[in-house]
Chain A
Amino acid sequence: MEGRRVSQEMKKAVVVSCDMVTAFGAGTDALWNGIRSGGTAISKIDRFNTKAFQSDNAAVINGLKYLKNDSLVMQMFRLLLKDNSASIPEDAKLILATTKGEIDLLEKKFLTGRGDASDSNPHKLLKKISALAGVKDSGMIISAACASSSTALARAASMIRSGYGDCVLVTACDSVTEFVYAGFSSLMALEKFAAKPFDKKRSGLSLGEAAVYALLMSDARAKREKRNIIGEIAGWGMSDDANHMTGPSRTSDGLIMAVKKALRSAGADEGGIGFISAHGTGTVYNDAMEMRAFHAVFKNKLPVYSVKGAIGHTLGAAGLVETITALRALKEKVVPLTVNLKAADDDAHGWVSNKQRALSNKKMALITNAGFSGINTALVVK
């Protein structure tokens, strides 16, 4: 294993294909245009009764329903992969990132008696996705709370850089279910209407749903196969606050560590970063924790944004959705606006904006995510 690394050092991990389905609809264009419009896909939901909860809003995908024999995430994946599976090589290694996968199948068992609770086992979902994507690999699941898919991207890039594989398919999903909605409501984490990341009056997150994939290859293979190179996962860093199960660190030391690791991994310094795609959930403590970390690492103010006011918090899918969005922003040379931002919190003033901004000539972006258990990830893309 170690000999392999010595003989194939430091390959670049590039994204050659990606797509997503979010509450703005199918495709990255739908998300990109939705965010640029300044509108939000968060609205009242009727998928389940929300009367007892803190909110009755979420960002759900039009047409998705609780069905007798199908899960919400598989409905999304069919939509996502029907036109894309042909471009996925069958020798790709497979990673599935999710927090709750097909948890609606467990709900179904307890609410209707149909099926079996173990139908929600993530290994079963992994098998379905492997078949749908047409890959031979039986794959692996990565679950790191709301940093699941950024952790999966870091793993995929690391595997390629170190020579343990030259093609990795990263898939990610989570859906808006009664199970999850009730849980966040019981933790008093939901914003009543729509999340307002980094706003003075933010008061919680809005749930969203998405399925997303990115195909990563070594740059050598991508060139050999004449693939379109969308961008590079240039660096990554992961850490844990080791502090609290649900509350972000009051010192931000965990996220600071992850960001510094990511910069080091990318061979970059803080001056090379053009903008930050923040986790930006809209909860008071998450956003403050992130801003403290950004103040600690970056000497000068940088453009920061969050997409969660537009498409809600897509949980395990968030990191991958946000990475693809950041790559699009680098390509278009614009920094997206933060939807629902009215008055930036004091520590975010001058960093976030409700207007799109032109990107400086810097070619790298930082994506941060954080989750329960104090998990932090930072990715550097270019």
Chain B
Amino acid sequence: MINIYGIGWIDAKEYGCIAKGTRVAFEGDTGFGGLSKKVFSHPFKYFGRLDRISKLTCYAIALALKDAGIDYSPELKQDIGAIGANDSGSLQADIDYFKDYLDCGRTLARGNLFIYTLPSSPLGEAAIHFGLQGPVFFSSAPKKSLLKVITTASEMLLSEETTAMFAGMTGENEAVYFTLMRDNAANKDFLCDADKARAILSRDMPQDKLVKEFSSLRKGRDQ
């Protein structure tokens, strides 16, 4: 059986960990750009250079790690994978890069901008910082992308392709990532099984409703 051990999320005003029941408002306090020291357990090298999608993705994965109680450090690499979706591929990064190229007179563009024109790059940044050595790829569908990446992650875990997976979705101003692992006798502290999560996600809801829905599972579990 595959279970959801944690869910990390962030939007324009708040961030949180669903299994742990934490929710932090940051607007007017630190602002989005100042969260780095609060969310990451060790300094994120060159975080300021990341594009917005990469930043949101890394924040949500950090919160999903924390929610599942998985430690990470600069020295530790783990066979954990990450798959993520969004609605537009890397459109904003494509525009930023190509405008820069045109501004440079169609000669050279900034290589750093080119790197983020790959939809998988935000997950690559997460893999480097969190030491994720499992399968890493972008996967998206025209409808219910989040449901599909959770399904894909579950299938990969059942096939024993890796030991744990982060699966989630990043939007323009929000991101949510789930931590999935196989049933583990040593750790029964999970939020729900993957089938239950899939049933909820099949209703295709906005992120704020999704956070409420999964938070209610935790409340039910605590009673």
Q: How far is the CA of A123 from the CA of B85 in the complex (A)?
A: 12
Chain A: how many interface residues by the 8 Å CB criterion? 67
Q: Is the CB of B159 within 8 A of A158?
A: yes
Specify which of A141, A142, A253, A373 lies most central, judged by the most chain B CB atoms within 10 Å of its CB. A373
| Interchain nearest-CB distance for A49 vs B (Å) | 7
Is there a chain B Cβ closer than 8 Å to A227's Cβ? no
A45 within 8 A of B: no
Residue among B81, B114, B130 making CB contact with A186, cutoff 8 Å: B114
Beta-carbon contact of A110 and B125 below 8 Å:
no
By a CB distance below 8 angstroms, the chain A residues around B123 are 373
Query: Contact partner of A158 among B118, B130, B143, B161, CB < 8 A?
Result: B161
Q: Does A52 contact B94, Cβ atoms closer than 8 Å?
A: no
Out of A2, A117, A123, A242, name the residue touching B128 (CB < 8 Å): A242
Instruction: Assess the B138–A144 pair: CB atoms within 8 A.
Output: yes
Chain B residues whose C-beta falls within 8 Å of the C-beta of A242 in the assembled complex:
77, 127-128, 130-133
- In the complex, A138 has a CB within 8 A of chain B: yes
A115–B127 alpha-carbon span in the complex (Å): 36
Nearest to B139 among chain A residues (CB) is: A142
Report A180-228 residues with CB < 8 Å from chain B CB: 182-187
> Is B120 touching A257 in the complex (CB atoms < 8 A)?
no
| Interface-located stretch among B15-23, B33-41, B96-104, B207-215 | B96-104
Stretch at the interface among B5-13, B150-158, B169-177: B150-158
Indicate the size class of the contact surface on chain B. 35 or more
Q: In the complex, are the beta carbons of A144 and B158 less than 8 A apart?
A: no
Contact between B81 and A1 (Cβ–Cβ < 8 Å)? no
Tell whether B25 is near chain A: CB-to-CB under 8 Å: no
Assuming the A-B contacts A151-B135, A375-B136, are A187 and B91 also in contact, with contact meaning beta carbons closer than 8 angstroms in the complex? no
Interface string of A78-113 (1 = CB under 8 A from B): 000000000000000000000111010011001100
Question: Known: A238-B134, A242-B132. Contact between A141 and B139, CB under 8 A?
Answer: yes
Contact B118 A186 (CB under 8 A): no
Cross-chain contact A186 with B108 (CB below 8 angstroms): yes
Indicate whether A155 reaches chain B with its CB closer than 8 angstroms: yes
- B: residues with CB less than 8 A from A are 1-2, 77, 79, 81, 87-89, 91, 94-95, 97-99, 101-102, 105-111, 114-115, 117-121, 123-125, 127-128, 130-143, 148, 151-152, 154-156, 158-159, 161-162, 194-195, 198
What is A's interface to B at a CB cutoff of 8 Å? 1-2, 5, 49, 52, 99-101, 103, 106-107, 110-111, 117-118, 120-123, 126-127, 138-145, 147-148, 151, 155, 158-159, 161-162, 164, 178-179, 182-187, 236-246, 253-254, 257, 261, 265, 371-375
Extra 18 A-B pairs, beta carbons < 8 Å, given A52-B106, A243-B128: A1-B195, A49-B106, A52-B105, A123-B89, A123-B140, A143-B139, A158-B159, A182-B106, A182-B114, A183-B109, A238-B134, A238-B162, A240-B124, A242-B77, A242-B127, A242-B130, A373-B124, A373-B136
